[in-house]
Amino acid sequence: MAMHLHKGLLVLLLATCAATAPAGKLKEFAQQATGKEEPAPPPAKEKPKAYATSATESFGTGTYPSETGGQSFLGGFYAWLVAGPLAYRHDDPAGSLRDGQDAADGPLGFFPRHLPGEATVPYARFDYNWQHVDGDIDADDVRVELGYKPFAVHLRTTRYADASDGFELDIDQVYGVLRYGGYRPDFLPGTFEAGLGLGASRIGTNDSSSSDESGIAFTIPLKYYPAEFFGIEFRPAWYTWFEDRRVGDYDLSASVGWRFVQVRGGYRWMTLSGKTWNDGPYAGFSASF
């Protein structure tokens, strides 16, 4: 009788353990013991990412990549470099302008926004520079820019004077310029301007034995202001002198200031027949609107 009671209790205990054991663990144990494991379910197919259609989607609103980039790095880079500038969104919250002006105020457009007084893509700008070439030679340089959005006119006149003999050299330049620039926070921090100019130049002296010479002139003005109070500009130009010899005219400067007025310092040099001429530092100021 006692033996039957013990057997009954053992059967009841085993049944209770089997009933309370987690089904998953038991099934897993059986599968491993018999070598009949169920095949793992196929991984869920990930939804392919579409190529980014804006710089914000591919590279973020600044210069750092976003987490929701394009399908590939090259695709995202293309969207940032090429598609982004052509699909600028004025409703981008990161594209708000300074002084409380929100970029969402304007309609969608190809040309970036511009604030009056900025040195880049100005409506009007006046520059004066004084250059020191050597102990006897100095130069007065005046530059005027007039424009609206992509169209501008650049005028520049420079007079070099040699105090030792009274000789003067005048260089006048006029260009029609196609330009692009302004605020593009989804493309580049700060403001910028890139232009392509075609025009004419005139070179003359106060020496009656030589005549004035005119020719075709070409320029690529570049400006970049990473901060409102600081900017860098590079203005290369090429034109012809006597006997169709090509002159390279290079102007590199940095400015400090605020909207409407900047103080400028730079270096200007010319190349002719493989030599450098009229090179020296200069200082001046700019008034922009």
pLDDT in tens, 6-16: 455 444 444 44
Q: Quick one: pLDDT band at residue 44, thresholds 50, 70, 90?
A: low
Alpha-carbon separation of residue 280 from 128, 137, 238, 277 (angstroms):
16, 10, 18, 9
Element (H, E) at 217: strand 213-219
pLDDT at residue 271 in the model: 95
Mean pLDDT value of segment 232-258: 92
Residues 136 and 278 in one domain: yes
Does the residue 114 lie in any domain? no
Q: Are residues 138 and 83 in the same domain?
A: no
Q: Which of 259, 247, 276, 205 is nearest to 267 (CA)?
A: 276
Q: What is the pLDDT of residue 60?
A: 45
Domain assignment of residue 130, given as a range: 124-288
**Can you give the pLDDT at residue 216?**
94
Instruction: Report the alpha-carbon distance of residue 249 to residue 266 in Å, rounded.
Output: 13
Same domain, 176 and 95: no
Regarding whether 232 and 149 lie in a shared domain, the answer is yes
What is the predicted pLDDT for the residue at 152? 97
Q: Answer yes or no: is pLDDT of 154 > 50.
A: yes
Q: Is residue 200 part of a domain?
A: yes
Do residue 136 and residue 86 come from a single domain?
no
74 domain-assigned: yes
Highest mean pLDDT among 93-107, 143-157, 241-255: 143-157
CATH number at residue 128: 2.40.160
- The confidence score (pLDDT) of residue 186 equals 78
Does 130 lie in the same domain as 101?
A: no
Instruction: Return the HEC string of 132-163.
Output: ECCCCEEEEEEEEEEEECCEEEEEEEEEEEEC
Q: Are residues 167 and 245 in the same domain?
A: yes
**Using CA atoms, how far apart are residues 40 and 44, in angstroms rounded to an integer?**
12
To the nearest 10°, report the CA torsion of 3, 6, 11, 14.
-140
Give the β-pairing of 137-148 and 151-162: antiparallel
Per-residue confidence (pLDDT) for residue 38, from 0 to 100:
57
CA–CA distance from 86 to each of 31, 64, 131, 288 (Å)? 60, 19, 40, 27
Residue 13 lies in a domain: no
Q: Is 20 a domain residue?
A: no
Structural domains counted in the chain: 2
Asked whether residue 34 is domain-assigned, the answer is: no
- The predicted pLDDT at position 128 comes to 98
Indicate if 274 and 143 belong to the same structural domain.
yes
Whether residues 223 and 261 share a domain: the answer is yes
Contact 238, 251 (CB under 8 A): no
Same domain, residue pair 85 and 160 = no
Q: Give, as one character, the DSSP assignment of residue 119.
A: S
Give domain status of residue 97, yes or no.
Answer: yes
224 and 251, same structural domain?
A: yes
Based on the fold, state whether residues 261 and 208 are members of the same structural domain.
Answer: yes
Query: Is 191 inside any structural domain?
Result: yes
Q: What is the pLDDT of residues 57-104, one digit of tens each?
A: 444 444 334 444 445 556 665 555 555 444 444 444 334 444 434 443
